[in-house]
Amino acid sequence: MLYREAGQFKTTYAADMAVFPIRQDRMALYLLLAVAFIGVPLFAQLHIWPFGGDYLIRAILVPFLILALAAIGVNILVGYCGQISLGSGAFMAIGAYSAYKFGTGVHIPLEWLGSEISIPPLPLVASILLGGLMAAFVGVLFGIPSLRIKGLYLAVATLAAQFFFDWVFLRVKWFTNYTPSGSVNAPELSFFGWIVHTSTERYLLCLAFVTIFAFLAKNLVRGNLGRQWMAIRDMDIAAELMGIRPLYAKLTAFAVSSFMVGVAGALWAFIYLGSWEPLAFSIDRSFQLLFMVIIGGLGSILGSFLGAAFILILPILLDQVPHALGIPISVETVSLLVFIITGMLICYLLIVEPHGFARLWSITKEKLRLWPYPY
Partner 1 sequence: MIVVGQVLEVLIGGLLAGVLYSLVALGFVLIYKASGVFNFAQGAMVLLAGLALVRSLDFMVARGAPTWAAIALGLLFAAVIMAICAWIVERYVLGPLVNQDGLTLFMSTIGVTFILEGASQMIFGSDVYPLRLFPTDAWFVAEGLFPGGILVNKLDVWGGLIAGTLVAGLAIFFQNTKTGRALRAVADDHAAAQSVGIPISWIWFVVWLVAGLVALVAATVWGTKLGVQFSITFLALKALPVLIIGGFTSVPGAIVGGLIVGSGEKLAEVYLGQHIGGGIEYWFAYVLALAVLLVRPQGLFGERIIERI
**Cα distance between residue 260 and residue 121, in whole Å:** 22
Cα–Cα distances (Å) from 41 to 9, 54, 275, 313, in that order, read 37, 11, 25, 21
Cβ-based nearer residue to partner 1, 54 or 240 = 240
Contact between 251 and partner 1 (CB under 8 A)?
Answer: no
Strands (DSSP E) found in the chain: 106-110, 115-119, 184-185, 190-191, 194-195, 275-276
CB of 152 to partner 1, least distance (A): 4
Cα–Cα distances (Å) from 259 to 173, 264, 360, 372, in that order, read 24, 9, 29, 45
CB of 341 to partner 1, least distance (A): 8
> 84-123 mask for partner 1 (x: CB under 8 A)?
x---------------------------------------
Stretch that binds partner 1, among 176-184, 209-217, 349-357, 363-371 (CB under 8 A): 349-357
Q: Which of residues 322-341 bind partner 1 (CB under 8 A)?
A: 332-333, 336-340
Stretch that binds partner 1, among 186-194, 309-317, 320-328, 343-351 (CB under 8 A): 343-351
Q: How many residues does the chain have?
A: 375
| Residue 119 three-state SS | strand
**Cα distance between residue 316 and residue 60, in whole Å:** 9
Q: Say which residues have a Cβ less than 8 Å from residue 294's Cβ, sequence separation at least 6.
A: 307, 346, 349, 350, 356
**Cα distance between residue 14 and residue 17, in whole Å:** 5
Cβ-based nearer residue to partner 1, 202 or 233 = 233
Cβ-based nearer residue to partner 1, 172 or 316 = 172
Q: Which of residues 49-68 bind partner 1 (CB under 8 A)?
A: none
Cβ-based nearer residue to partner 1, 82 or 89 = 82
Q: Which of residues 276-315 bind partner 1 (CB under 8 A)?
A: 283, 287, 290, 294
User: Which uninterrupted H or E stretch holds 65?
Assistant: helix 62-74
Q: What are phi and psi of 354, to 5 degrees?
A: -60, -15
Question: Residue count at the site for partner 1 (CB under 8 A)?
Answer: 43
Question: Which residues contribute to the site for partner 1 (CB under 8 A)?
Answer: 82, 84, 145, 148-149, 151-153, 155-157, 159-160, 163-164, 166-167, 170-172, 235, 237-238, 283, 287, 290, 294, 332-333, 336-340, 342-347, 350-351, 354
